[in-house]
Amino acid sequence: MSSSNRLSLTAAVFVNINIMLGSGIFINSILLAQKAGPLSTLIYPAVGLLILPLIVAFSTLLSHFPGGTFYEFGAHIHPLLGFVSSWGYFIGKLASAALSIHFSMMTVQQLIPLLQVFNTIVLDILVLVLFVLLNMFNVKTGRPIQYFFVALKTLAISIAVGAALALFNVSHFSSVLLPWAALPGTVPFVLFAFAGFEASCSLSKNIENPSKNAPRAILFSYGIVLAIITLYQLCLYGALGEKLGALDKSAFLMPYSYMLDSLFMLHPSIRAALLGAALAGIAMSAFGASYSILYSNVWNLHTLSGYNVVPFSALLRKLNRFYAPVACIIVAGLLEMGYLLGSGGQIAPLQIISATATVLSYTISALAFVAISFNTLHKLRMISVLSLLCCVFFMITSVFNAWAFGVVPYLIFGLALLVGLLMTFSCRKTGREVLEGMQ
């Protein structure tokens, strides 16, 4: 790829931010208030601190493997682990993209009531087709679209924070009754909101000066998003208190309505304008996340095709004149459509599938970091062990969620992972030949 088609550091940071600041920040506000009450504002920084060793792990891996992806990280231990990490992330992260599209279209239907006569899934698929077509222009259209989405989601968050600060009441934090047993169940949902900083691992081959800029993209985007989502949750609970937790967890727009009603009861035109702007910003925020996931995630499949470990690798490797992997984009679009049709837009199953895939790739990457730190980077041994322990904790919370939400999402992801393994072994006559080819 020519240098003119590569992503700058700023563009890479915006891709990560667009994925992280998607639907999770809005979906989680009520759920966390229900689970943790006044201390819901501490869950984000707590999990953020827990993830910090992983941030160091990915930054180090991207410096150690310039242009490296999930495949190269896992393959450092064994090629098969590289395949599982990259394929698992590719199929699982598309569930998050599907959720973001559905969330955005539900918001658009509230903003434009005329669209409510259409089935939301049908509208989801139309938007998905548009995203697939836009992605075929790759980086040439990618950069301005990323900036556009960040600008609009900033509008929605700014309206919420501004209104909340005007209504902020410290007394809402006076009673702290924390249901500790419920906290593990919130971790996968918080992880869903954070997940996206690792997008640089998918795009690293397309970033200018990847050994330097890819790690920076992770660090900068993670710090920015952690500050924003913590401030958002703090302000909303400070403005609404227990009312926030009393809302139905699917009523993600009600906090905006309550706050704007209180501030502009005598000025309905201002209230309507601000609510409309917030709705548009929320919709675009989710749109941006879905587009960015599709935009970055297709390169995981493209990487696998480069190692000839998936069927039709020659076709998947081909780039069009815009340097876009058309076949990979089509495959990703079809898988995302399958999630939309299969789930009917249900939030929890899609979040769980995405979080499970992310934890799997995180764990394999953390193992690679441990191996590297104990061999060469001795000063980072403790951090590498902490990053692995962090992944173990995430796996434990996943088991907890299987008990709470059922095993169906895990079975779906496991089946998709198994299909990938069967495909890669079918690329050769024997398993031995497959592993030799992967090496």
Long-range contacts, stretch 146-150, CB < 8 angstroms, 24+ apart: 146/11, 146/14, 146/15, 146/18, 146/288, 146/292, 147/14, 148/284, 148/288, 149/18, 149/284, 149/285, 149/287, 149/288, 149/291, 149/292, 150/14, 150/17, 150/18, 150/21, 150/288
Looking at residue 118, the DSSP 8-state letter turns out to be S
Measured between its terminal Cα atoms, the distance across the chain in Å is: 24
Rounded Cα distance between 410 and 390, Å, is 20
37 — alpha (psi -120 to 50), left (phi > 0) or beta? left
Rounded Cα distance between 12 and 5, Å, is 13
Rounded to the nearest 10 degrees, how much is the dihedral formed by the CA atoms of 44, 47, 53, 56? Answer: -30
156, 324 Cβ separation under 8 angstroms = no
DSSP state letters, 3-19: GGGSBPHHHHHHHHHHH
**Closest-CA residue to 385 (of 112, 53, 150):** 53
**Residues shown for the chain:** 439
pLDDT at 365: 92
pLDDT at 435: 43
Q: Low-confidence residues of the chain, pLDDT below 50?
A: 1-2, 140-141, 429-435, 437-439
* Domain total in the chain: 1
Question: Phi/psi of residue 7, each to 5°?
Answer: -85, 135
CA max distance for the chain: 74
Rounded Cα distance between 158 and 63, Å, is 35
Rounded to the nearest 10 degrees, how much is the dihedral formed by the CA atoms of 220, 67, 433, 370? Answer: -50
Rounded Cα distance between 427 and 439, Å, is 14
pLDDT at 174: 73
CATH of the domain at 301: 1.20.1740.10
**Closest-CA residue to 264 (of 169, 172, 162, 173):** 162
Interior angle at CA 60, CA 225 and CA 365, nearest 5: 85
pLDDT at 184: 60
pLDDT at 23: 67
83, 420 Cβ separation under 8 angstroms = yes
Rounded Cα distance between 43 and 24, Å, is 14
Supply the range of the domain harboring residue 348: 3-438
